[in-house]
Structure 1
Amino acid sequence: MNSSTHPISKDLVLVGGGHSHAIALRTLAMHPLPGVRITLISDPSDTPYSGMLPGHVAGFYAHEECHINLRSLCQAAQVTLICDRAIGLDLATNRVQCINHPAIAFDIVSIDIGSTPILPPAFPLSKHHVGAKPIPAFLEWWYHLCENVPSSLNLGIVGGGTGGVELALNMNHRLEEVLRHQERYQERSEQHFTIHLFHRGQQLLPNHNRWVQRHFQHLLRDRNIQLYLGETVEGIAEGAIFCASGLTVPCDETVWVTGAAAPRWIAQSGLTVDADGFILVNDALQSVSHSQVFAAGDIATMSHYSRPKAGVFAVRQGKPLVENLQNALRGRSLKPYRPQKNYLSLIGTGDDSAVASYGILGLHGRWLWTLKDQIDRAFMNRFTTLAETMTPDDAIHPSSPASPISMRCLGCGAKIGSSILERVLQRIRDELPNAKREDILLGLDDPDDAAVVQIPSGNVMVQTIDYFPALVSDPFLFGQISTNHSLSDVFAMGATPQSALAIATLPYATEPKQEETLYQLLSGAVKTLHQAQAVLIGGHTIEGETLAFGLACNGVARPDRLLRKNGLHPGQVLILTKPIGTGTLFAAEMRHKAKARWIDGAIASMISSNQHAATCFLHHGATACTDITGFGLLGHLVEMVKASRVAIALQLEAVPMLEGAQDCIQQGIFSSLYPQNLRASQWVANDSALRSHPLFPLLFDPQTSGGLLASVPSAQVDACLAALKAAGYCHSTAIGSVYPKQDGVEAVTIS
C-alpha cells in the first residue's frame, strides 16, 4: 500500500492467529484496504492448523507442513505483526493491552484466540501435566517426551471427546514408532508405555453418532489403550490420577483435553459473554454489546446458533468475518452469516486411515485418510503459495478508494506536527521514572533548540549515528532493534552510553495514527536506552513513504580505556558474541522463504544488547573490539586487520550461525549488500579453495544489531567465554587467532 496516496486513517487490530484470522489475512493480502493499517497480535509467529495437528503428533507431518507462517502471511498482506500476548481490552479508549508492548490502539478489533481446556482449580499445569491448548506449549511438552521416553511410561489423557480420542490414537502410534526405532540400536528393549483415557460420560465422542462412538471404543481397546468411562478425575498426586469413584490409576504424564474455557480478561473487559465466558456475537460475528468488536472461532459464541467448538466452524467463519470487517471499516451494512448444522468430520486413527462422521453416517477406511490428507494439504497450500498467487492488480487497484492526498510537502513542511510530538513525549515521560540527570543540562523537558550535555572530567565523548528503514513491521520492536544497533558502536569502543538523539520517518497518516506509530517507536527506543542507562534528549521527525528510524548516540569513556580496531596483537584470540546470518534470513523473509522460527531467532539475537559483553571484554584484557554490522563478519575483521597490521587464522566451522542462515544461503538468497561485501575476500589467502564451502558466503552477510568481535589474551579466553555465557551470550565462541603479518601474504587464512 502506498501510504502517500492513501494515508493511514483507520486501525484494524486482529487479536490472535486462529483459523478465521488466517483466512482473513489471506483475503486482505489479495484485496488490500486503502487507508487502513492492519495489525495482528499473536504470541507465536506461526499458527497450527488443527486439522493436521493429530497427524503431526503421530509423526506424519513436519512442523512447517501443519503450521501457517504468520510472518510470511502478514508480509504478503502488508500487516504489522506484533508477537505478544493480549491480556486485556480497554473499550473506553479502544486499546488492546499486551504483556510486553505498550497498548495497541484500534478503531475495529477482531478476536480469534481460541480456547483452553477447563481445568479444576486444584490442577495447575506443570511440566508433567499439560493442556492440549495452547498448542505451542503442548507441542513443546510432546517433543520433549518423544525425545526422552522413560523406561516405563503411563500417559493419562483426560477427556473423551473428538480431541482426546484422536490424540490418544495418534500418540499411541508415535510412541510405538519411537520405541521401535530405539530397538534397532538395542539387543532387547525393556521400555513400554500405557495410555489411559478418562471420560466422565458413558459414551465417547458425544457430538457424533452411535456407530462412530462404538467404532472408536473398539479401536481404542484394539490398540491396548485403557479406557475409563463414567470416571471424573478429581486429583493428581505422586504420579497417579484419582477419580471420584475411588479409582486410582498410575500416570506419569497427563494431557487435559476437556471442555473449552475462555481467558478471564475477555469478561473483565466489559464485553457481553455467555455462561462460559466466551464473547457473545450476533449473526455478523459482531459483539452484541460493542459494535467495534468482532470475534470468531472458539472464543466466540453466536447468540442465535448453538454449535460445538470445532475448527470447521472457525474455517467457515473466515470469509464472512473479513467481509464484515471490510464493511464496518467502510461504513457499510453488515451481512448475516448462518453456520451449517451438519458437517463432515474426518478423524485420523493414527494408522494412515480415518473415520468419516456425518450426521447418522459413519465410515472407516484408508481412502478416507487420503481424502483428509488432500483436503488438509490443499487448505495449507492456500497460504504457502500466497506470494505466487497475488497479482499486481490486487495491490495497484484496490476495491474501494480512500480520500487521497495528492501531494505531500517536502523540506520543513514534511516535519511531524509539534502537537503530535508534545503528546507522544508526554506519554513517554509519564511511563519513565522521574530521575533528573545532572549530566543532561538541557534535554526533552526543555524548549530550547538543542540539547546540552556535560562531559565528566577526564573523559572523552564517543559519538556515532545509524539510521535505516524498518526490517520488521512492529514499530515497538523496530525501535528496540535499531537502538541496540546504534548503541553497539558505543559499546564496541569500550564507552558507556550517556544520551541519544532520534531521527524518524513516519508513514503518511492522519494525526492520531502518526501519534500512535511514533509512540510505539519511541517506546521501544526509550525502553532500550533506559536499560543501557542512557536518555533520549531530542531528535527530528518527518513524513515519508515507509517507517525508518535511527539514533545519534553519545557515550563517555576514559581515553586510556578505549577499545579500537587497531588494537589486535599477535598471540591473542578472537571471540564473537552473537551468531551471524540476519542479512540472508531477512532477504529470505522478503521472498517468503524463511521459516517463522528462523526469524524469531534472528529477532531475539538483534534485541540482545552488547553492553554486558563489552564489560566482559574490558574485564578480561581485550585490546581491540568492533561490532559486526553492515559489512559482515569478514568486512569488519579486515578493518581490524588493516588497522593493526596483523594476520588472522579464522576457523570457519567455529563461527556461530543463526538457525536457517545456511539453508537460505544454499538456496542462493543473499542480501543486496552481499556483492559489495564479497570484495573483502581479496584479503583471504585461500579464497579460491573456499568458494565452494557452504558456510563461506555467510562471512560476508551484512548484520543488523550483530554481536561484538574482540581480541583477548589467550590466557583469558576460557574465563572470558565463561563470563560471557553467564551474562546470557550463549553463542559466544572463540573463532580465530592473531599472528604477525608476513609481507606479501594476504592477512586472513580460513580453515
Structure 2
Amino acid sequence: MKRGEAVFQKTVVLVGAGNSHLVFVRRWRMRPVPGVAVIWINTQDTIPYSAMTPACLNGEAAREEITIDLVRLARSAGIRLVVGAAERIDPVERLVHVPDRPPLRFDVLSLNVGSVSRPLVDPVQWEGSIPLRPLGRLLDRCEAWIARLEKQPRPFHCVVVGGGASGCELSAALARRCEHLPRFRLTVVEAHERLLPRFPSWASARFTQRLSEAGVTVLTQCRVVGGSPGRLVLDDGQELECDAAIWATPGVAPPLLRNSGLPVDAEGFLRVHSTLQVEQFPHLFAAGDCITLLDHPELPHNGVYAVRQGPVLYDNILSYLQKRPLRSFRPQRRCLYLLNLSNGQAVGSYGRWTFSGRWVRRWKERIDRRWLMSFEPPASMAASAVPETEESPLMRCGGCGAKVPGHVLHKVLSRLEVPRDPRILLGLSEGEDAAVLQVVPDGPVHVQTVDYFRAFTDDPYLLGQGAAIHALSDLYAMNAVPLAALAIATLPFARGPIQEQMLHELLAGAQSIFTAEEVVLAGGHTTEGPELALGFALTGLAQPSALFRKNALQVGHNLVLTKPLGTGALWAAWMRSACPARHWRELVQHTLQSNRAAARIAAGLNLRACTDITGFGLAGHLLEMLDASRLSARLFIHRVPLLEGFEMAVRQGIVSTLHADNAKWECRIHGSAPLPSWLFDPQTCGGLLLAVPPDQTDDLLAQLRAAGYLHAAVIGQTIPLQGTAPHIELLAST
C-alpha cells in the first residue's frame, strides 16, 4: 500500500438488525465499496428469525436452527459489529451514542430498529409478563416456565394478548408444545370480532378451528385495559387470572426515535420519503417497522415490506455517498403470508387467495430455511482454514498471534552484546516478563515493559481495552504495581475525522482499563501505517524481595492456571467468520479479564514462581520457567481449562498463524501423540501460571474463584530434572 492512499473515506452506521439491514449486509458482502467502512450496532449478537420462532417454540426446530449469527455474518461481510443499544442519535453532529463507549461518528446512518412491545403489566414487576419483542427473550422466558412445569406439574394459565398473525402462530405453537401438560390452559384475547382481522375470513376460520381443536379458549371483541401481577383486566370489567401473559399486540415506535429529536408522526414512527431518507435529514435513512412512508402512510408495519426495502436501502445509501440519483421504494400490491398452524400444516394468504395444507407448511419451511442459509458465511471463507503453506499463506493473526516466533527471538537476543549495568537488576539475559531497574538504592525497584501488536479485532475500543490488559499482565506476572503508561498507536491511512474517531476509541478503551487499574496514561506516540496496531510502554513499582520470578520453581509444587486457553485459535476463527456468537461472547469476556486480582492473591500467599501465558503458548512459557529453574514438569491433559469453541475450531483446521512456530518445542514434550493443540496456542490476554505448595493449593483456588477466575485449575506439578534438559511430561489422568 502506498503512503497517503486513503483506506477509509466515509463511514456508514447501521442501527438495528431488522430484515432491511440483513439484506443490506448480505449485499455488502457480495459487493463492498472501497473506502467505505460500515459499523453495525445491535443490542444482541444473535437474533432468532421471526418467521421460524413458532417452529422453535412448538419443538419442530432447535434454537440454533432459527438463529442468525450476527458475529459471523458481520465478519464475513467485512462489517464491524458493535453489540449495544443506541441511546441517542445526534443527526446534526452525526454521532450515535452507545453506552460504555465513545459516540460513533457517521457520514450516513440507517435505522432498522423495528417496533417495540407495550405490555400493560411491567415485566420487571412480574416475570410472567412477556413482551413479544425481543423474540430471543420471549423464547427464553417461555422455555423457562415450560421446563419448570415439566419438572413440577401444576395448574398453569397462559394468556396471549392479541390475535393477529403473531398471536395466532404463538398460540398454536404453545398449544402443541404444552399438549402433554394436562393442567395447562391457554387463552387468546383479541379486540376485533375475529382472529386475524387483517387477513381473509377463511384464514381466520382455519386458525380458529385449529385453536378450538387444541382446547384453546378464544375471546374476541375483548380488550385488555390493565392488570397487575397474575391478573389481567378486560374492557368489560372481567378479570382473568393467569400465570403468564404474552403481549402479541401491535408494536409501538421505539423511544430512540423521539428521544433523538427526529421527525416522527403522531404515533412516534419516523417520517420517511420514498427514497427511504428521513424527512429533513437526507443523510439519515430508515426502513422496516420503525417508519411511516409519507407516500404510503396506510402501509402496515411488518417485515414483508422490510425485506423488499433492503435492496433499495443498499442502492440508495451507495448512491448518496457517490452523489448519484436515488430510486424510490414502491411497496408491492400483494404480499404472501405463510402462517404455521403447528400441526404439520400452514395457512397461506396472497391478496384474496387463501390456502392451507401440509404442502403449504413444506413450502414455508423451504422459504424460511433458504432465507436463513443466505446469511451463512460463504464456503470459500471456511476454505481459508487450511494449514499454512508457502504457496497459500493464511491471513496473519493479530494480538499475540502476531509475535515474532520464540526461536527467532532467542537467536537474536543471544547474538546481542548488551553491556552490564548495576542498575539493571533483571534485563535481557534473565528472560523475565519485564525489566527491573534499581533507580533509588535500597528503595522500590522500577519494573518496565513494552507490548505492541497488530489489531486482533475490528473494534478499536475493544482493541484498546485488550491491549491495555495484555500489557499490564507483564507487570502483574512479576508482582509489580503499575504506575504509568505510554501509548504507541498506528492508525490506517484515512481522512482526518475517521482517524480522529479511531484514535479516540482506541485510547478511550485503554483509559477505561487504566482507570479501573489505577494507572495513569501519561503520553504516547502515533503514526500512520497499513493497518491498525496498538501497544503500551508501562512502568510499575515493586519491592525486590517480593518479585515473582520464572526461576523460582520448586520440586513438588502444583501448577495452577488462572484462565482458560484458546484465544489464538478462536480469534483466528473469528477472522475467518467461523467463530459462533456464543463462543465470541466468552472470548471477549475472557479477553477483558485482568490478571490484577490473581497477582494480588498470589502475593498474599507469598508465592514467588509466576509467568503469564501469552504469545509462546503454555508450552513455550512453561519451558521458560523450567529452563530458568532447572526442573521438569508434569501436565494433566484433562485438567487444562479451555475456552468453549477452541476444540471445534481446531477440528476445522483453524489455528493461529504462530501455532506452527510454537510447536517447534514439541521435541521437549513427552507422553502423548498427537500433542494437544492447546500446548502451542498463543494467548492474547492470557492468564497467570503459578507454582503453589500442595498445602496452599486449595486456598489459592478458592480465592481465585471467589475473585472471578472461575476456570482456575491445577494443571500439573513440578518434578525433578531428568537428563540434561528440562521437559514437559503429559499424563492423560492424575
Fold-level match, TM-score > 0.5?
A: yes
Corresponding letter in the other structure for 2:308: R
Alignment gaps of 5+ in structure 2: 385-437
Find the partner of 1:705 among 659, 668, 685: 685
Partner SS for 1:598: helix
Structure 1 residues 391 and 720 mapped into 2: Cα distance closer, same or farther (>3 Å)?
Answer: closer
The match for 1:172 is: 175
Structure 1 residues 671 and 123 mapped into 2: Cα distance closer, same or farther (>3 Å)?
Answer: closer
Deviation at 1:272, TM superposition (A): 0.8
For residues 22-45 of structure 1, the C-alpha deviation after alignment (integer angstroms, 9 at most, x for no partner) is 111121222222222211112222
Deviation at 1:482, TM superposition (A): 1.3
Corresponding letter in the other structure for 1:624: A
Deviation at 1:2, TM superposition (A): 9.7
Corresponding letter in the other structure for 1:304: D
Partner SS for 1:580: coil
Structure 1 residues 273 and 2 mapped into 2: Cα distance closer, same or farther (>3 Å)?
Answer: farther
Alignment gaps of 5+ in structure 1: 180-189, 393-452
CA distance in 1, matches of 2:182, 2:453: 56
Structure 1 residues 377 and 237 mapped into 2: Cα distance closer, same or farther (>3 Å)?
Answer: same
Q: Is the 8 A contact 1:499 1:554 kept in 2?
A: yes
Q: Is the 8 A contact 2:162 2:248 kept in 1?
A: yes
The match for 1:253 is: 244
Structure 1 residues 174 and 610 mapped into 2: Cα distance closer, same or farther (>3 Å)?
Answer: farther
* More divergent stretch after superposition (715-724 vs 37-46): 715-724
For residues 384-425 of structure 1, the C-alpha deviation after alignment (integer angstroms, 9 at most, x for no partner) is 144649999xxxxxxxxxxxxxxxxxxxxxxxxxxxxxxxxx
Deviation at 1:52, TM superposition (A): 2.0
Find the partner of 1:587 among 549, 572, 581: 572
Find the partner of 2:164 among 161, 166, 171: 161
CA distance in 1, matches of 2:121, 2:281: 31
Deviation at 1:158, TM superposition (A): 1.8
The match for 2:91 is: 91
The match for 2:499 is: 514
Deviation at 1:457, TM superposition (A): 7.4
Find the partner of 1:727 among 683, 707, 713: 707
Q: Is the 8 A contact 2:121 2:227 kept in 1?
A: no
CA distance in 2, matches of 1:719, 1:146: 41
Partner SS for 2:280: coil
The match for 2:394 is: none
Alignment of 1:649-728 (within 5 A): 649-688=634-673, 691=675, 696-728=676-708
Deviation at 1:139, TM superposition (A): 3.0
Q: Is the 8 A contact 1:462 1:495 kept in 2?
A: yes
The match for 1:740 is: 720
Alignment of 1:163-202 (within 5 A): 163-176=166-179, 192-202=183-193
For residues 466-497 of structure 1, the C-alpha deviation after alignment (integer angstroms, 9 at most, x for no partner) is 21111211111111111111111111111111
Structure 1 residues 352 and 640 mapped into 2: Cα distance closer, same or farther (>3 Å)?
Answer: farther
Q: Is the 8 A contact 1:495 1:555 kept in 2?
A: yes
CA distance in 2, matches of 1:3, 1:175: 65
Partner SS for 2:468: helix
Whether 2:75 is the aligned partner of 1:75: answer yes
Deviation at 1:352, TM superposition (A): 2.9
Structure 1 residues 542 and 137 mapped into 2: Cα distance closer, same or farther (>3 Å)?
Answer: same
CA distance in 2, matches of 1:21, 1:295: 10
Whether 2:289 is the aligned partner of 1:292: answer no
Structure 1 residues 679 and 270 mapped into 2: Cα distance closer, same or farther (>3 Å)?
Answer: same
Whether 2:103 is the aligned partner of 1:103: answer yes
CA distance in 1, matches of 2:381, 2:652: 21
The match for 1:503 is: 488
The match for 2:335 is: 343
CA distance in 1, matches of 2:727, 2:144: 48
Whether 2:237 is the aligned partner of 1:262: answer no
CA distance in 2, matches of 1:490, 1:104: 33
CA distance in 2, matches of 1:456, 1:95: 53
Q: Is the 8 A contact 2:269 2:290 kept in 1?
A: yes
Q: TM-score, normalised by structure 2?
A: 0.87
Alignment of 1:571-586 (within 5 A): 571-586=556-571
The match for 1:556 is: 541
Alignment of 1:140-539 (within 5 A): 140-149=140-149, 150-152=152-154, 153-176=156-179, 192-237=183-228, 239-305=230-296, 306-386=298-378, 388=380, 458-539=443-524
Q: Is the 8 A contact 1:684 1:747 kept in 2?
A: yes
CA distance in 2, matches of 1:333, 1:492: 59
For residues 493-551 of structure 1, the C-alpha deviation after alignment (integer angstroms, 9 at most, x for no partner) is 11111111111111111111111111111110111111110011121111111111111
For residues 684-731 of structure 1, the C-alpha deviation after alignment (integer angstroms, 9 at most, x for no partner) is 32033x54xxxx212321111112221222222222222222222222
The match for 2:526 is: 541
Q: Is the 8 A contact 1:159 1:256 kept in 2?
A: yes
* More divergent stretch after superposition (678-687 vs 473-482): 678-687
CA distance in 2, matches of 1:32, 1:102: 26
- CA RMSD for the aligned pairs? 2.5
Structure 1 residues 678 and 459 mapped into 2: Cα distance closer, same or farther (>3 Å)?
Answer: same
Deviation at 1:238, TM superposition (A): 5.1
CA distance in 1, matches of 2:319, 2:252: 30
Deviation at 1:736, TM superposition (A): 2.2
Find the partner of 1:608 among 573, 587, 593: 593
Q: Is the 8 A contact 1:284 1:335 kept in 2?
A: yes
* More divergent stretch after superposition (244-253 vs 50-59): 244-253
* More divergent stretch after superposition (240-249 vs 271-280): 240-249
The match for 2:9 is: 9
CA distance in 1, matches of 2:169, 2:551: 64
The match for 2:39 is: 39
CA distance in 1, matches of 2:119, 2:295: 28
Structure 1 residues 456 and 247 mapped into 2: Cα distance closer, same or farther (>3 Å)?
Answer: farther
CA distance in 2, matches of 1:338, 1:391: 40
Equivalent pairs counted in the alignment come to: 674
The match for 2:422 is: none
Q: Is the 8 A contact 1:387 1:592 kept in 2?
A: no
Q: Is the 8 A contact 1:635 1:700 kept in 2?
A: yes
Corresponding letter in the other structure for 1:470: A
Q: Is the 8 A contact 1:3 1:35 kept in 2?
A: no
Q: Is the 8 A contact 1:353 1:367 kept in 2?
A: yes
CA distance in 1, matches of 2:99, 2:7: 29
Deviation at 1:454, TM superposition (A): 9.3
The match for 2:396 is: none
Deviation at 1:121, TM superposition (A): 6.7
Deviation at 1:60, TM superposition (A): 2.9
The match for 2:731 is: 750
Q: Is the 8 A contact 1:741 1:747 kept in 2?
A: no
The match for 1:51 is: 51
Structure 1 residues 259 and 2 mapped into 2: Cα distance closer, same or farther (>3 Å)?
Answer: farther
CA distance in 2, matches of 1:268, 1:76: 33
CA distance in 1, matches of 2:731, 2:91: 60
Q: Is the 8 A contact 2:478 2:548 kept in 1?
A: yes
* More divergent stretch after superposition (109-118 vs 588-597): 588-597
For residues 290-325 of structure 1, the C-alpha deviation after alignment (integer angstroms, 9 at most, x for no partner) is 112111111122112122222111111100001110
CA distance in 2, matches of 1:633, 1:139: 40
For residues 124-147 of structure 1, the C-alpha deviation after alignment (integer angstroms, 9 at most, x for no partner) is 465332212122322332343344
Structure 1 residues 670 and 6 mapped into 2: Cα distance closer, same or farther (>3 Å)?
Answer: same
Find the partner of 2:633 among 648, 651, 669: 648
